[in-house]
């Protein structure tokens, strides 16, 4: 597997993406597939975090990754090189994925995949507006971005149930207040589970993966 499968997504103008996303979730429930949608700004460490998650979840589940980008295949290559099934989705300039596009991507993964992880397009705005059909939406905020970001991108933090604060090793170099960031996140979403991690070293990822495993087990039943 040294070459990456690239899927050029076709946009289908669906009248009701919300309904389609709900339908996809029901299909996934029936097929025993957990779908995790990972969103963040460009450069927050989505790929590195996903690699850490894969290392832990793959001990218990059959995992696969969909890498969505406007262009390039660098991320899917990284995932494949680490030994996990991955497809590269090209959105053709689009800034988000919807349920129909998720379906097109999943068709490129092994049929017996139990946990599908989507690395959405790097964007804190638009991906939050489109239900992909995911069972769980996860947002990554990285320390260099600043602790005020939850105030500026409210919908993203409202739509996600798990927030990862990444690059905590860089905290001394940046004016980032973990308590302030957490308070801002909880103001947007009082139910949010917050996990500070350093994806580069793996610090904090075990706790995050316990949360994820619990949710996956309960979904797969």
Residues of this chain that interact with a second copy (CB under 8 A) are: 41-44, 69-72, 74, 93, 95, 121-126, 129, 142-146, 148-149, 151-155, 167, 169-170, 173-174
Quickly list DSSP for 22-67.
HHHHHHHHHHT-EEEEEEESTTSSHHHHHHHHHHHHTTTS-EEEEE
Per-residue DSSP letter, 120: -
- Name the minimum Å distance from CB 1 to a second copy: 21
Question: Which uninterrupted H or E stretch holds 208?
Answer: helix 205-220
- Name the minimum Å distance from CB 149 to a second copy: 5
Measured from the CB atom, the residue of 40 and 102 that comes closer to a second copy is 40
Closest CA to 172 of 143, 192, 150: 143
- Name the minimum Å distance from CB 16 to a second copy: 19
- Name the minimum Å distance from CB 98 to a second copy: 15
SS3 of 206, please? helix
Measured from the CB atom, the residue of 6 and 155 that comes closer to a second copy is 155
Measured from the CB atom, the residue of 42 and 110 that comes closer to a second copy is 42
Residues 6+ apart with CB under 8 A from 15: none
Measured from the CB atom, the residue of 79 and 216 that comes closer to a second copy is 79
């Amino acid at each position: 597997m040294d070459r990456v499968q690239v899927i050029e997504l076709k946009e289908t103008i669906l009248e009701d993406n919300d309904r389609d996303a709900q339908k996809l979730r029901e299909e996934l429930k029936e097929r025993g597939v957990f779908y995790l949608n990972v969103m963040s700004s460009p450069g927050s460490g989505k790929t590195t975090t996903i690699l850490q998650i894969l290392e832990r979840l793959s001990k218990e589940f059959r995992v696969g990754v969909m890498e969505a980008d406007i262009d390039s295949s660098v991320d899917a290559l990284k995932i494949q090189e680490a030994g996990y099934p991955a497809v590269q989705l090209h959105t053709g300039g689009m800034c988000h994925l919807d349920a129909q596009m998720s379906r097109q991507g999943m068709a490129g993964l092994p049929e017996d995949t139990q946990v599908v992880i989507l690395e959405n397009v790097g964007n804190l705005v638009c991906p939050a507006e489109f239900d992909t059909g995911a069972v769980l939406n996860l947002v990554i905020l990285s320390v260099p971005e600043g602790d005020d970001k939850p105030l500026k991108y409210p919908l993203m933090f409202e739509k996600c149930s798990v927030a990862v604060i990444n690059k905590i090793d860089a905290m001394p170099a940046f004016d980032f207040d973990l308590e302030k960031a957490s308070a801002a996140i909880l103001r947007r979403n009082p139910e949010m589970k917050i996990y500070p991690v350093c994806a580069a070293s793996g610090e904090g990822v075990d706790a995050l993966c316990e949360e994820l495993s619990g949710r996956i087990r309960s979904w797969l039943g």
